[in-house]
């Protein structure tokens, strides 16, 4: 069996970055930028008012109580044709371009008596002097022309989409999403929505993997359930190998009907490792077929999900050229006594709590590898080293979070 770090190295060494494509902004959320983007314009593109008020020359505001003649009115989206001279003001709205000659905006609240209704030809009194340049957004203050907006590997958030739209860019170059074929194996499984017969259970692994693949920014392809039949399994695996990544669940251990490894090898899959020193998740297999990555995760649902977090999620991020391949890891003290471990790292499902400037954790229910409810309750996976002698409450461990992403590789214990 490989250590977690050894297995992760093998997976990432076999992972390639996919190509790129240009997509509309409406389709770009959570995609990954494949190129640098520089701003083609200044933001704002012109000097404008930061609030409703009166645009004046700043040098005219040398003391309180000055009165100005209102020579124009400038709503947002218009450009004044009147220059603001000495002793003059232009009524201006938020976001409107400053008229020629003006460099300062007096907010309505600093006029007397809150003179928001003064029209052209009227006069407005400024009750308090301001520094020249006050309440003005200068051209390029938000973003200067030529400034970096995005870099390769940047995941696109709603704010990034809004920023690109503000620059007039309707599309963005992104890495291609990996296509991930998901195939559950086992005659005991029943597809979602179908009734269970005697001795049968609902297929949870396919749906959990579907969600994990989506969350990792990839495209899931559900292939259904392969019964414990060599011909059916071969047919579905052959279809699966047309994808960028294959995830099979079950059939990778040493049972009499565990055919997955045997048939994969017949189809040209080169096995890179079988077995990881992790609990849950030790029967994981990984191989390659051409440029397709092939993962065989255990059939127990928690073991399958933990295997995804440790190995498949980083690979999917790497295929999209993301910089944040890993889940974040924090140090936390255990609220529970933890039993001794044997030859494998134990990944304890846990709930995380903030305490002062640090964290503590407690087990999230039963730790059986088939107890999916505990995975739903968990915030993280406590990394208890192999050969741990057992500990009382208060011992400190690394905890791999189950949300967020980090460019820093977690310090997995041996």
Q: Estimate to the nearest angstrom the gap between the alpha carbon of 400 and the chain centroid.
A: 16
pLDDT at position 252: 63
User: Which residues in the chain show pLDDT less than 50?
Assistant: 256-257
Q: What CATH number did the domain enclosing 314 receive?
A: 3.40.980.10
Instruction: Write the pLDDT tens digit of every residue in 194-225.
Output: 898 898 999 999 999 999 999 999 999 999 99
pLDDT at position 114: 66
Question: Is residue 105 classed as helix, strand or coil in its secondary structure?
Answer: strand
The answer on 279 and 232 residing in a single domain is yes
How many domains does one find in the chain?
4
CB-CB contact of 55 with 36 (8 Å) = no
pLDDT at position 295: 96
pLDDT at position 228: 81
The answer on 286 and 203 residing in a single domain is yes
Instruction: Write the pLDDT tens digit of every residue in 135-152.
Output: 999 999 999 999 999 999
The answer on 171 and 24 residing in a single domain is yes
pLDDT at position 378: 97
The answer on 128 and 154 residing in a single domain is no
The answer on 101 and 85 residing in a single domain is yes
What is the residue range of 376's domain? 329-401
Q: In sequence order, which residues have a C-beta less than 8 Å from that of residue 297 and are 6 or more positions away?
A: 205, 209, 247, 248, 249, 252, 281, 284, 303, 304, 307, 308, 312
Flag whether 324 is in a domain. Answer: no
The phi and psi torsions of 316 (rounded to 5 degrees) equal -65, -40
pLDDT at position 255: 53
The answer on 158 and 100 residing in a single domain is no
CB-CB contact of 54 with 124 (8 Å) = yes
């Amino acid at each position: 069996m490989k250590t977690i770090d050894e297995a992760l190295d093998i997976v990432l060494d076999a992972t390639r970055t996919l190509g790129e494509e240009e997509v509309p902004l409406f389709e770009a959320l959570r995609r990954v930028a494949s190129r640098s983007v520089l701003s083609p314009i200044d933001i704002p593109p012109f000097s404008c008012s930061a609030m409703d008020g009166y645009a004046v020359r700043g040098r005219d505001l040398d003391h309180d109580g000055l009165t100005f003649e209102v020579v124009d009115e400038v709503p947002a989206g218009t450009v004044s044709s009147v220059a603001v001279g000495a002793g003059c003001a232009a009524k201006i709205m938020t976001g409107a371009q400053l008229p020629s000659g003006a460099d300062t905006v007096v907010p309505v609240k600093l006029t007397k008596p809150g003179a928001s209704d003064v029209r052209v030809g009227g006069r407005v009194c400024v009750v308090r002097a301001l520094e020249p340049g006050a309440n003005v957004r200068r051209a390029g203050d938000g973003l200067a022309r030529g400034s970096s907006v995005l870099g390769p590997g940047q995941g696109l958030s709603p704010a990034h989409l809004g920023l690109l739209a503000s620059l007039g860019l309707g599309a963005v170059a992104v890495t291609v999403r990996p296509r991930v074929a998901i195939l559950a194996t086992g005659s005991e499984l029943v597809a979602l929505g179908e009734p269970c017969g005697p001795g049968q259970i609902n297929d949870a692994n396919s749906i959990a993997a579907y969600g994990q693949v989506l969350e990792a920014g990839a495209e899931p392809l559900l292939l259904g359930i392969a019964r414990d039949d060599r011909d059916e399994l071969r047919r579905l695996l052959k279809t699966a190998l047309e994808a960028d990544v294959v995830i099979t669940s079950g059939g990778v251990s040493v049972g009499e009907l565990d055919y997955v490894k045997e048939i994969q090898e017949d189809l040209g899959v080169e096995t890179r490792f079988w077995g990881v020193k992790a609990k849950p998740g030790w029967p994981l297999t990984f191989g390659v077929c051409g440029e397709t990555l092939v993962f065989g995760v255990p059939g127990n649902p928690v073991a399958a999900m933990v295997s995804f977090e440790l190995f498949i999620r980083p690979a999917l991020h790497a295929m999209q050229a993301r910089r944040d391949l890993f889940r974040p890891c924090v140090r936390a003290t255990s609220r529970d006594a933890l039993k001794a471990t044997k030859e494998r790292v134990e990944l304890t499902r846990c709930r995380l709590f903030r305490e002062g400037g640090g964290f503590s954790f407690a087990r999230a229910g039963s730790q059986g590898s088939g107890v999916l409810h505990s995975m739903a309750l968990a915030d993280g996976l406590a990394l208890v080293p192999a050969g741990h002698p057992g500990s009382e409450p208060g011992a400190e461990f690394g905890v791999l979070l189950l949300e967020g992403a980090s460019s820093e590789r977690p310090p997995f214990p041996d």
